[in-house]
């Protein structure tokens, strides 16, 4: 008997199951990948495209050369030259702190730069910044070679060529020209400057910074993964700063600096016909080029704490007793007001008694009998003690103010002092304010509370030379670009001193005698050149025994006497007598100015 066969349930192949699992996993993976690609391409495409551009494009600013400062004859006072600069690009430095520290440490070791200085430079900007952060300017060729040799090991470290200021000498016209430095944090807060930009800090560089600074350019460079340039994508050319024509005469400036070597003090050379400052010297000076680059803290402290104050512009920022130079004011006031006449005479014994006080002459034994002319020529103190009491303190101060003392000259450089003139005082037993006799006597020889700056004395002596015109001292003639003059100064009269022609003639003749007729300024005499001037020896308050007797030496002169072209004022701190120290310095300067004219006279003679 035959039974029908029952079909058995089929058993699924294990290999087929594995294939299905793998196919499902692959399908899901593809879906995830496609989703991720869609996310990256569609949703985040713009951001990653920008990041990609940043990774391969380097932005490099191109610094514009600063404008050149020229003297009145077109000779450069300061110029530019190419110099190497070490910079860091934060975006290209390693992200890992350890790797970044290795790079910075290697740079510090190669170039002998403090490691902390590199860290501080990077910390000042955002870590993803593409703009170079300048670390050290003025690299040597050896420094550049070291960086290039290790270039592959120094990602984010580059050397650039930028214009840098160059000066005739390291201290040439330091206080006049000033210096440039990278914009400080305080200046950056003003919003006018960019980080790393060079800005004028003092002197004419600061005064004219908006004209001297040019417009920077820039370029976008494609670089490879190692940061090496591949091609230039875009470039914007920089525009140089404007050119400045000053009133300074470089040859006179150099002559004045040579004449003042080894002395602390100031020299001002001015044209009395228009107020042009031909030279302005303050010694000791500082090294300008050291301030332009990176200066270490210890070096900076040495300059700031130097007891000789090299950063101080003594021509306009220091105030001194004028000494006997002030006697010209007393003579002018007395003659114009009628309190004195050229025939007035005094017998000088070397002492003047006022109550219980005794005022001495600078010459032991006195000058004997002198009139006003000889009193100026020989700088007799006794004569002017008596003259001051005749004229009165109020009148002397009035004429001193008319000649510009007690007020700034309005020179464009910042920090100018105004000087000081005495004021009437309350005297016991008298109503109101009056002038104590002792104060008047002291003031009559330029002592006491009378203080002036060398620039004020130059303007005052210019007024004596030109007949009473007070010019505002001028340092800049014009600022010009290739296509136009953008600023100019034609000179400005700031006041007049009204004296009769007879008084002017008497004063000039007396000052001529100071130099040429047995006066105290004989050391300034130059055969063939008529020089008129006045010496001054100003006592200073001694702060120590070492300073006792170290008086300030003055000499203020103009030449030629009949048609003055220049005024020269010399002030030597703690130099001694004006006729022995300051007058010979002025002679050197005047000889340099009028060398050809004096040589011609000597040849014809």
Instruction: State residue 541's pLDDT score.
Output: 63
Of the ranges 130-134, 278-282, 422-426, 445-449, the best mean pLDDT one: 278-282
The pTM of this model reads 0.84
453: pLDDT strictly greater than 60: yes
- Helices (H) then strands (E): counts for the chain: 22, 25
Q: Both tokens of residue 122? A: 């990077």
597: pLDDT strictly greater than 60: yes
Concatenated DSSP letters of 91-151? GGS-SSHHHHHHHHHHHHHHHT--HHHHHHHHHTS-TT--S-EEEEEEE-HHHHHHHHHTG
Instruction: State residue 288's pLDDT score.
Output: 87
pLDDT band at 51 (very low <50, low <70, confident <90, very high): very low
Instruction: State residue 605's pLDDT score.
Output: 57
Concatenated DSSP letters of 323-371? GGGGHHHHHHHHHHHTS--TT-EEEE-SEEEETTEEEE-SSTT--EEEE
Helix orientation angle between 327-337 and 501-516, rounded to the nearest 10 degrees? 150
Q: Which residues pair with 370 in a beta bridge?
A: 346
pLDDT band at 122 (very low <50, low <70, confident <90, very high): confident
Instruction: State residue 8's pLDDT score.
Output: 47
439: pLDDT strictly greater than 50: yes
Task: List, in order, residues 6 or more apart from 558 with CB less than 8 Å away.
Answer: 272, 461, 462, 464, 465, 511, 531, 532, 533, 564, 566, 567, 568
Gap between the Cα atoms of 154 and 97, Å rounded: 14
Least confident of 402-411, 519-528, 595-604: 595-604
Rounded to an integer, the average pLDDT of 284-290 is 87
CB 561 within 8 A of CB 459: no
CATH architecture assignment, domain 58-246: Alpha-Beta Complex (3.90)
Is the omega angle on the peptide bond into residue 156 within 30 degrees of 0, that is, cis?
no
Gap between the Cα atoms of 329 and 403, Å rounded: 8
The length of the chain is 605
Higher pLDDT, 291 or 506: 506
27: pLDDT strictly greater than 90: no
429: pLDDT strictly greater than 60: no
Instruction: State residue 53's pLDDT score.
Output: 47
Gap between the Cα atoms of 596 and 446, Å rounded: 36
Q: Both tokens of residue 24? A: 């499902």
- Vertex 265: Cα angle to 459 and 444 (nearest 5): 55
Instruction: State residue 430's pLDDT score.
Output: 59
CATH superfamily for 250-604 is DD-peptidase/beta-lactamase superfamily (3.40.710.10)
Rounded to an integer, the average pLDDT of 342-347 is 96
Residue 57 backbone phi and psi in degrees, to 5 = -115, 125
Instruction: State residue 469's pLDDT score.
Output: 98
Instruction: Look over the chain and give the mean of its residue pLDDT values, rounded to a whole number.
Output: 87
12: pLDDT strictly greater than 60: no
Domain coordinates in residue numbering, the chain: 58-246, 250-604
Instruction: State residue 603's pLDDT score.
Output: 62
Largest CA distance in the chain: 179
Instruction: State residue 25's pLDDT score.
Output: 77
Q: How far is CA 591 from CA 520, 531, 566, 575, 595, in A?
A: 19, 11, 12, 21, 5
Instruction: State residue 205's pLDDT score.
Output: 94
Q: Which residues pair with 84 in a beta bridge?
A: 139, 161
Instruction: State residue 131's pLDDT score.
Output: 79
Query: Among 330, 277, 570, which residue's Cα sits nearest to residue 443?
Result: 330
**Percent with pLDDT over 70 in the chain:** 87
Write out pLDDT tens, residues 296-322: 677 777 887 888 899 999 999 999 999
Query: Among 327, 212, 221, 244, which residue's Cα sits nearest to residue 77?
Result: 244
Q: Sign of dihedral through CA atoms 79, 82, 87, 91?
A: positive
Q: Both tokens of residue 133? A: 């952060």
17: pLDDT strictly greater than 70: yes
Instruction: State residue 432's pLDDT score.
Output: 57
Instruction: State residue 239's pLDDT score.
Output: 86
């Amino acid at each position: 008997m035959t039974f029908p066969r029952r079909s058995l349930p089929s058993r699924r192949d294990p290999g087929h199951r594995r294939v299905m699992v793998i196919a499902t996993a692959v399908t899901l993976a593809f879906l995830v990948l496609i989703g991720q690609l869609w996310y990256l391409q569609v949703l985040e495409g713009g951001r990653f495209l920008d990041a990609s551009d940043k990774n391969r494009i380097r932005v490099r600013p191109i610094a514009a050369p600063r404008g050149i400062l020229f003297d009145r004859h077109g000779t450069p006072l300061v110029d530019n030259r190419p110099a190497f600069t070490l910079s860091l690009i934060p975006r290209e430095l390693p992200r890992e702190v350890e790797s970044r520290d290795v790079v910075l440490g290697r740079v510090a070791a190669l170039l002998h730069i403090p490691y902390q200085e590199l860290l501080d430079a990077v910390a000042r900007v955002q870590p993803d910044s593409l703009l170079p952060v300048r670390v050290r300017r003025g690299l040597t060729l050896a420094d550049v070679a070291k960086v290039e040799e290790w270039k592959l090991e120094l990602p984010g470290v580059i050397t650039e060529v930028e214009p840098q200021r160059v000066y005739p000498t390291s201290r040439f016209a330091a206080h006049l020209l000033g210096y440039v430095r990278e914009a400080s944090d305080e200046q950056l807060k003003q919003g006018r400057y960019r980080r790393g930009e060079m800005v004028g800090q003092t002197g004419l560089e600061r005064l004219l910074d908006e004209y001297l600074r040019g417009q920077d350019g820039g370029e976008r460079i494609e670089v490879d993964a190692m940061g090496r340039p591949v091609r230039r994508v875009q470039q914007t050319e920089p525009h140089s700063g404007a050119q400045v024509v000053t009133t300074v005469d470089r040859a006179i400036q150099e002559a004045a600096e040579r004449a003042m070597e080894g002395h602390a003090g100031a020299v001002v050379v001015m044209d009395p016909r228009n107020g042009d400052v031909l030279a302005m010297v303050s010694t000791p000076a500082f090294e300008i080029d050291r301030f332009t680059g990176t200066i270490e803290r210890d070096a900076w402290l040495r300059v700031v704490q130097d007891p000789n104050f090299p950063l101080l512009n003594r021509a306009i920022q220091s105030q001194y007793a004028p000494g006997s130079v002030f006697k010209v004011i007393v003579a002018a006031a007395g003659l114009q007001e009628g309190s004195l006449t050229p025939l007035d005479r005094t017998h000088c014994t070397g002492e003047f008694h006022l109550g219980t006080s005794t005022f001495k002459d600078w010459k032991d034994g006195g000058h004997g009998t002198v009139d006003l002319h000889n009193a100026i020529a020989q700088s007799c103190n006794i004569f002017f003690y008596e003259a001051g009491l005749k004229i009165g303190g109020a009148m002397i101060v009035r004429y001193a103010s008319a000649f510009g003392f007690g007020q700034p000259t309005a020179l464009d450089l910042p920090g100018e002092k105004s000087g000081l003139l005495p004021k009437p005082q309350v005297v016991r037993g008298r109503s109101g304010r009056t002038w104590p006799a002792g104060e008047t006597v002291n003031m009559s020889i330029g002592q006491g509370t009378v203080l002036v700056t060398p620039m004020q004395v130059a303007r005052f002596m210019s007024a004596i030379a030109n007949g009473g015109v007070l010019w505002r001292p001028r340092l800049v003639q014009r600022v010009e670009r290739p296509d136009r003059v953008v600023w100019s100064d034609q000179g400005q009269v700031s006041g007049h001193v009204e004296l009769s022609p007879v008084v002017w003639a008497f004063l000039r003749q007396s000052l001529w005698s100071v130099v040429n007729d047995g006066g105290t300024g004989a050391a300034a005499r130059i055969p063939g050149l008529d020089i008129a001037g006045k010496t001054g020896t100003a006592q200073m308050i001694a702060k120590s025994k070492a300073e006792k007797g170290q008086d300030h030496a003055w000499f203020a002169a103009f030449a030629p006497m009949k048609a003055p072209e220049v005024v020269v004022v010399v002030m030597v701190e703690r130099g001694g007598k004006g006729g022995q120290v300051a007058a010979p310095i002025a002679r050197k300067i005047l000889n340099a100015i009028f060398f050809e004219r004096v040589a011609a006279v000597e040849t014809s003679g």
